[in-house]
Amino acid sequence: MTATNNSASDSSNTLMVIDGHSMAYRAFFALPADNFQTATGQHTNAVYGFLNMLLAMIREQQPTHIAVAWDMDTPTFRSEQYPEYKAGRDKTPDEFYGQIDLIKQIMDALNIPNIELDGYEADDIVATMATNAEEAGWKARVVSGDRDTFQLINDNITVLYPMRGVSELPPFDAATIEERYGVSPAQYPDLAALVGETADNLPGVPGVGPGFAARWIKKYGGLQGVLDNIDNIGGKKGEALRENLEAVQRNRELNKLVTNLELPLDLDETVMVNPDRNQVAELFDALEFNTIRDRLFTTFEQQLGTTEEPPPAEDMPETILIDEITDWEAFLTSISEPVSVFCHITPPAVITKRKIPAPGDYGAIRALGFATSHATAVLDVDAASEELGQAVIAFLSDSAYAKVVYDLKSILKALATTASSSPLPARPDVNTSIVGVEDDVLLSAYILQPDRRGYDLTDLVQTYLNTRLESIVATENQGQLELEGIDDDNAQQLAQYARNAWMIHRLNEVMGEQLAERDAVPLLHDLEIPLSIVLAKMELIGIGIDRERLDSLLAGFTNEVEKAQQSAFASIGGQEVNLASPKQLQTVLFETLDMPKTRRTKTGYSTDADSLADLLEKTDHPFLHNLMAFRDATKLRQTVQGLLDSIADDERIHTRFSQTAAATGRLSSLNPNLQNIPVRTPAGRQIRDIFVAGTNPRSDERTTLLTADYSQIEMRIMAHMSEDAGLIQAYQDGEDLHRFVGAQVFEVEPEDVTTSMRDKVKAMSYGLAYGLSSFGLSRQLRISVDEARELMTSYFDRFGAVQRYLRNVVRQARKDGYTQTMLGRRRYLPDLQSDNRQLREMAERAALNAPIQGSAADLIKKAMLGVQDRLERDGLYSRMILQVHDELILEVIDSEVDAAEQILVEEMSSAATLKVPLDVQVGKGYSWHEAAH
């Protein structure tokens, strides 16, 4: 965007210049600070109010140019002339702290200049700019809560003055001033000088208000006239005027705004341009601003004349439409480098009632875009001949052609299930459907930035290429199909797919370089990409479900919910409240029943399980017991209902493993989440019992579930990384770790370690990797903070290397800016440098945990590749179906149980060679519950 249409003489230009501090301060008092706080305690009410005001002003005033003027902390000519100037003001509230700086950062991101000038106030900058604008033949709009700016008003300059907080900013023109004060704008400072300005600590003439002052000014034509006739003014007020003559003259000098400052930038440089979306997104993420984000972009787009034209694909080679086999052959022969392939996958059907994708539906590939550095092409699958379809399939499975894709796993799944009637018939063999994938830019982005929130192609293009992809087509990671910004014309849609392929091509170039720089290429090539293929298989296979038992569980839990609810109502005298509403519960517990207050939350007092347990101890009220039973039962019912809704047509559940969700490198599971199926309570374990061994398509044999989990993987990784001799010895000797540690810490013989001792050191050991504090430990163990502190001290006395390691992890992370796992997976933690203590300490705990949790994730991912490879190479029919962080679940046919078990143990325990053994425990059974050991 250039300023070509905004030359300095253009009379259609409107400059909006804002007195930043004045507006921020108004916004601060207009919105409750308590309601605008980030998780880390930074207040944002002034920032939010300011932005809202800014957007409203852009919409209403439609400026072509914007600038924000700021006061500096340094003395001004006014304070030098009159030291009491602005003295005696109330102290700025603590909650205001930091908000000015945030606003300035946002202005930077919006490419709106922040202007400040040593020795002058924002007002003077505002005055100079408005005057300059007028001289250039522009209009000017001054946004300020300082009435001194009224003196600037004329035909071309209007002041927008905040009323009712910052929600209304009516324009003040000459008529408004005349009407309100009875003087012209030019005379307003005369009036103000007589009346005085409390806010600036400028007393005027006692007893003289705006009314009298206006009358004098009218009569004598201005302050000068008043002073010339000072002896003709009678009465007490005349007397007072004569006595305060100096103050009035001083006031008039001080409230005169400077209009001829040397500014650090030209008017033209305030032209509105597009915001830096990345910077805005980053700031808004930190500020937890979500709804205002779109409003901001829309406002800017509308004001700037809608669309940013430049197609994101500068330098993009011309696109050819492939609709004949000869086109395809010509395209192929021209290729001498990896081909970027974009697959347009129709989104799966959605169950409208619950807004979830239909279980087991992975969509179909309807179009493909292709790109290399010198060619782009697009192919409409529906319009393709069978011959052309076959040619594409051959290309995809040909390892001679290297490929770059976005979201390999989704493509493999769609390809595996596309209807056989399509020119692109189903390619159920995930091993061969696409071969030669050199990069999946989705996975590359994850490795480069594992704590991003979204990895939509649009977002990646924005971040890495700094361009916009107007609309792109949905895949698994994007959610929905929307083609905004282009018309229905099929050709245009197809062109978009080619552009997407081109973007993938360019992303690959940029990201490939970054990955190479940080030696992360093996992590992509040898771990994440092959894992994507394994995960695609696991998702396609799914896990067997005993629907009948699940149905009866639902009935049982529903019944329990009902019973608990009735008892709960009965125990509070028949009052019917919504037990699922924390708000209503608060009323019952803390008002009706007048129970002691619990932990504070944002909206009142906590009613979580811990708090209820505390209350039960204190009050022994039956309502609490019933409420807890209700909570338990609803949670279980909800889990069961969720599972029932996710059963696919093959009577199995196909969870989706997200490979890009967890910042530490772990997988996550969704739709449904099979990584949080209950296991601790008997009722919960009933749910594990409905996950069963199902039928194997290649065998008539009976099947069994085999589970294998790493024993204390994170503790072992800590022992390995810290090289703590005691811990390593204990693991090598195969001792009961917690008993061993307990014996050391409490200085008793291992056989004399009591359950209570063991529990304490166990909690401590587990807590270590999370950055547990003595306070946290005391809470968890329900012991005093002193006792917890003693426990920690004697723990670290015995295992000093662990403490040194943990400290060192944080220190190194602070130095490097990131942590690293055993396979070199990085997590960047900029907050380690934050001034905000809460933020910084959170980052420190994350730094502590990330290498441990992340290395464990690395290990099991590596093990999964090993297990899958062995199963296939050994020709087994058994299949890996689930991963739950430190556990793998296989569905094996009975004749392969021993072989599969051996593979699991071997591959999992050899995933890495540590200074301690990697113990793997295996269990088998018909159900997941039975297979637990």
Partner DNA sequence: GCCGTTACGTA
Partner DNA sequence: CGTACGTAACGGCT
Q: Which residues sit at the interface with DNA, rule CB under 7 A?
A: 288, 290-291, 451, 578, 580-584, 601-604, 606-612, 631-632, 635, 638, 642, 645, 658, 661-664, 666, 668-673, 675-681, 684, 763, 766-767, 770-773, 775-776, 779-780, 842, 845-846, 849-850, 853, 884-887
46 in Cβ contact with 104 (< 8 Å) = no
- Whole-number minimum distance, CB 839 to DNA, in Å? 11
Residue (244 or 611) nearer to DNA, CB: 611
Phi-psi region of 316 (alpha: psi -120 to 50; beta: other; left: phi over 0): beta
Residue (457 or 713) nearer to DNA, CB: 713
Q: Which amino acid is at 756?
A: S
- Whole-number minimum distance, CB 186 to DNA, in Å? 40
- Whole-number minimum distance, CB 87 to DNA, in Å? 38
Residue (67 or 884) nearer to DNA, CB: 884
Residue (57 or 501) nearer to DNA, CB: 57
Task: Give, in order, the Cα–Cα distances in Å from 599 to each of 610, 612, 779, 782, 839.
Answer: 10, 11, 13, 16, 21
The sign of the dihedral angle between the CA atoms of 677, 681, 687, 690 is positive
Identify the DSSP state of 705.
E
Residue (191 or 595) nearer to DNA, CB: 595
Q: Which amino acid is at 209?
A: G
Of 650, 652, 655, give the one whose Cα is nearest residue 668. Answer: 655
Residue (147 or 631) nearer to DNA, CB: 631
Residue (98 or 642) nearer to DNA, CB: 642
Residue (12 or 559) nearer to DNA, CB: 559
The three-state (H, E, C) secondary structure of 625-679, written as one string:
HHHHHHHHHHHHHHHHHHHHHCECCCCEECCEEECCCCCCCCCEEECCCCCCCCC
Largest CA distance in the chain: 118
- Whole-number minimum distance, CB 477 to DNA, in Å? 11
Of 926, 932, 927, 868, give the one whose Cα is nearest residue 900. Answer: 868
Using alpha carbons only, how large is the chain's radius of gyration in Å? 35
Strands 319-321 vs 375-380: parallel, antiparallel or unpaired: parallel
Q: Which amino acid is at 857?
A: A
Backbone angles phi, psi at 873, to 5 degrees: -65, -35
Sheet holding 887-893, edge to edge: 879-883, 887-893, 703-710, 920-925
- Whole-number minimum distance, CB 362 to DNA, in Å? 16
- Whole-number minimum distance, CB 285 to DNA, in Å? 10
- Whole-number minimum distance, CB 764 to DNA, in Å? 8
**Alpha-carbon gap, residue 822 to 751, rounded angstroms:** 36
Residue (632 or 907) nearer to DNA, CB: 632
Residue (1 or 580) nearer to DNA, CB: 580
Residue (364 or 888) nearer to DNA, CB: 888
- Whole-number minimum distance, CB 669 to DNA, in Å? 6
**Element containing residue 122 per DSSP (H, E):** helix 122-135
Of 298, 242, 249, 244, give the one whose Cα is nearest residue 274. Answer: 298
Q: Which two tokens stand for residue 500?
A: 């997407």
- Whole-number minimum distance, CB 424 to DNA, in Å? 29
Identify the DSSP state of 271.
B
- Whole-number minimum distance, CB 679 to DNA, in Å? 4
**Alpha-carbon gap, residue 39 to 602, rounded angstroms:** 11
- Whole-number minimum distance, CB 582 to DNA, in Å? 4
Residue (161 or 289) nearer to DNA, CB: 289
Of 50, 18, 256, give the one whose Cα is nearest residue 130. Answer: 18
- Whole-number minimum distance, CB 27 to DNA, in Å? 15
Strands 139-143 vs 14-19: parallel, antiparallel or unpaired: parallel
